[in-house]
Chain A
Amino acid sequence: MKVSQGLLSFLVKCLPTVCIAFLILCGCSMQMGGAPLLPVLYLIPVYYWLVFRPTWLPIVSLLGIGFFYDALMGRELGFSSAILLFSALGLPYVRVFITRHVFYLMWGLFCVYSLVVLCLYGLSGGILFRSWIYGISLYPLIAWCLSHFHVRCDAYV
């Protein structure tokens, strides 16, 4: 079957959104020692794509992901969307730090970003700390997967 280049490019650009939605679906029940993985788990791909490929994660997708997360978690509809929209405003400024030896800096900036977002979500105390630690520990693994995914998708766009 012959697929036009435009359609292929569009489908590839949809993949980050689908990947985040899938991560939310799979991670919604996960917790370790009473601390949830999810808010930070889904922030990892959001951060990655907003920093490395902001055009693949347009604002409309972020709005949809926010609604999706709120509806699944029983939160006030629109709260996560607002957080993600503010992320979309702020995270492109991290792009100035993209250099050759960048990984640890990106990781550090993610730690700060995720901590701020967790506080905005209203987590506090031990749950906040443990959830944050789990999330930033998972960042290298997920970022490694996403970077492979990114490089392969680049070939189609």
Chain B
Amino acid sequence: MPFFIRHKDLKPVKPTPNPYSSRLPWWRQHMGLWPLLCLLLLGGSFQFSPHFHAFAEQVFFEKVSWLEGVVARPFHAVASLFAEATAFRQDMVSLRSENEALKWKTQALSRLHAENAALRRALHVPDITPYRSIVVPVLATPYDGLHHLFLVGKGSAQGLIKNQAVIVPEGVVGRLEKVGQEVAHVLLLNDRRSRLPVMTVSSEQKAILAGEGDGFPVLVYVSNTRNVKRGEQVVTSGLGGMFPVGLPVGIVEDVVNGKIRVRPYAPFQKLDWVHVLQLPATGEIGRALEECQG
């Protein structure tokens, strides 16, 4: 049997500008022009009407990601079933011991908690409310060499909103870029379009963490790069109101010629579940939202 099947019609075929027969009706003869017209309109809308372009992108995203969700969900379920089955016994043993340790720790902390609350009241320090979060499964990680995204299995129907912070216990993962009805896109920290306000812990330098498309985003707009040292921890600065203050982001990997590369804490390749923070909107975003609602 030949490796590659030879076709019966072996004569060379001359290229023709229109592959359709001339016997087709007139509207089908000119069908090739319509896509070009659509593309031109789309390009024009991108340039001159961003609102229409954003609407078109959202509509396509909703449809396509729903389909991707349908395809990816069974694979995710089977994969997590296997992973859970193999790690179940080991996890149970470790969780039991961890639970016992946490019980003792909770008992010790309850006294401190009451004392802390009393001191806060005495000093008139407002209470810090813990952030609520929604746990969402990672369905797929579409990657084309430039864009770093996660497709997660919950959407606006479950209360997700665009630009919410996405974290894991290790650190920040990214933010919600597009939110559909049942699925959403998470823009990761190392994507080229990602910008995150951060600060270094020891040198207290505020900066923007900009993705470069590889595994190491860089710090830009640092006022004094000489103060930043290798191995220093980077946390969110809370500017802009999208992320709360102090979430761990990564550590400074190296500083070469003023370029500060950061290694994110979040293990992007190993994530099956992420947390989406339900933050009260504050700062510029909060004001903008209030204006919109008003």
Contacts and interface: CB of A to CB of B under 8 A. Distances in A.
A68 interface: yes
B54 to A, nearest CB: 10
A83 to B, nearest CB: 11
Contacts of B43: 78
B12 A73 contact: no
A6 to B, nearest CB: 15
Contacts of B61: 71
Interface in B125-179: 140-147, 149, 177-178
B7 interface: yes
B10 to A, nearest CB: 6
B64 interface: yes
Contact of B57 (A62, A68, A77, A123): A77
24 contacts: A25-B68, A29-B142, A38-B143, A54-B19, A55-B19, A58-B31, A59-B32, A60-B34, A63-B39, A71-B64, A71-B65, A72-B64, A73-B149, A74-B147, A74-B149, A74-B177, A82-B39, A95-B15, A96-B12, A99-B10, A140-B3, A147-B5, A147-B7, A148-B5
B68 A123 contact: no
Chain B at the A interface: SS class: mixed
User: Top 3 closest A-B pairs, CB basis?
Assistant: A71-B60, A71-B64, A63-B35
Interface of B: 3-7, 10, 12-16, 19-20, 31-32, 34-36, 38-39, 42-43, 46, 53, 56-57, 60-61, 63-65, 67-68, 71-72, 140-147, 149, 177-178, 185, 187
Contacts of A78: 39, 42-43, 46
B19 to A, nearest CB: 5
Given A96-B13, A99-B12, A100-B6, A73 B147 contact: yes
A58 B32 CA distance: 8
Interface in A102-157: 103, 118, 121-123, 127-128, 131, 140, 143-144, 147-148, 150-151
Contacts of A26: 71
Contact of A122 (B5, B16, B31, B146): B146
Interface of A: 25-26, 28-29, 31, 35-36, 38-39, 52, 54-55, 58-60, 62-63, 67-68, 70-78, 81-82, 85, 92-93, 95-100, 103, 118, 121-123, 127-128, 131, 140, 143-144, 147-148, 150-151
Given A68-B64, A73-B149, A77-B56, A28 B142 contact: yes
Contacts of A29: 72, 140-143
